[in-house]
Each structure stands twice: as C-alpha cells, then as structure tokens.
Amino acid sequence: MFSKADKTKAAAASARAIPSLVSTDLEITGNLKTPGEVQLDGTVQGDITCGKLMIGEKAAITGQIEADEVEIRGKVTGRIKARIVHLAKTAHVTGDIWHDSLAIEAGAFLDGHCKRNDTQTTIQASTQTAKVTPAPRPAEVVAVAGGKTATGS
C-alpha cells in the first residue's frame, strides 16, 4: 500500500516548505544561495540569492540581495533586487532597491534609489537598439572673387 517512492517524494516536498533559519546568535561571512525561503535573524556579510527572504528586526545584512520576494524588518546595507519588496516600520535600508512591487510602512528608513525592474530592461533595450548617426558635415562654401571660383570650408 505505501511504497518507498511515496515516502521520499513526501519528505522532499515537506523539506522545501520549511524555511532555512539563521538565528540571532549566528554570524555568516560569505554568500548564501538557495531556491527556497530564508528567515534571517542573525548577521550576514555577503550576497544572498533566494526565493523568499524574511529579514528579522535584529538581523543585519551587508551585501547584495536577489530574491523573488523580500520582507525587511532589520538592517540592510547594499542593493536589493526583487519582484516584491516590503519594508516594515523597523526596516533600515541603505542602498538601491530594484522592484516590481514596493511597499514601505510609515517609520521605515530608506537611503537610496527605488527603481522598477522594467526601467532597467527599458534602458538596456533602448541602448541596444539605438543607432548612431554621424554628425552632419559642414556645408561647402563657394566664393567668387575677381572672376575666379574658390572653395573652402
């Protein structure tokens, strides 16, 4: 009735549903990369790439963040690039935010620029399709002096 294959599939599905935890007493120097969810309450000095990132009030990150969804309650120093970004009232962000959707609660601190992800795509597309046309050449001047024709520029 129950096969070994069913147990391994169920275990793999439940393992992906539980977020990875970085507790308050943990300090990481280096990059973190996972397709899943990360709940961060400690300190990270390095870049983070993940599916969903939840940054707690006591957390501190120095580095770039790339995720599908980011919820910030703590301190971040570095660029954030995500589809959905939410800054809670306790958030303290120093750096630029690239986003599709951005929510900022009253009381959140942000020192940086906020740019939509489609803006970056538009800028790249317009620079790739732009054609450079040479500057017009100066007109040739023809002068008649004493019955002789002279040209110059």
pLDDT digits (tens, 9 = 90+) for 124-149: 544 454 554 454 544 444 444 555 55
Q: Looking at the domain assignment, is residue 70 inside a domain?
A: yes
DSSP H or E stretch at residue 152:
strand 148-152
Q: 16 in a domain, yes or no?
A: yes
Which residue segment(s) compose the domain that 37 sits in?
4-121
Instruction: Please give the model's pTM, rounded to 2 decimal places.
Output: 0.68
Strand, helix or coil at 44?
strand
Instruction: Look up tokens 């303290």; give the residue.
Output: 92
106, 111, 123, 134 from 20: Cα distances, Å: 29, 28, 36, 56
pLDDT band at 123 (very low <50, low <70, confident <90, very high): very low
Q: How many domains does the chain have?
A: 1
The verdict on residue 102 lying in a domain is yes
Range scoring the smallest mean pLDDT among 72-86, 92-106, 137-151: 137-151
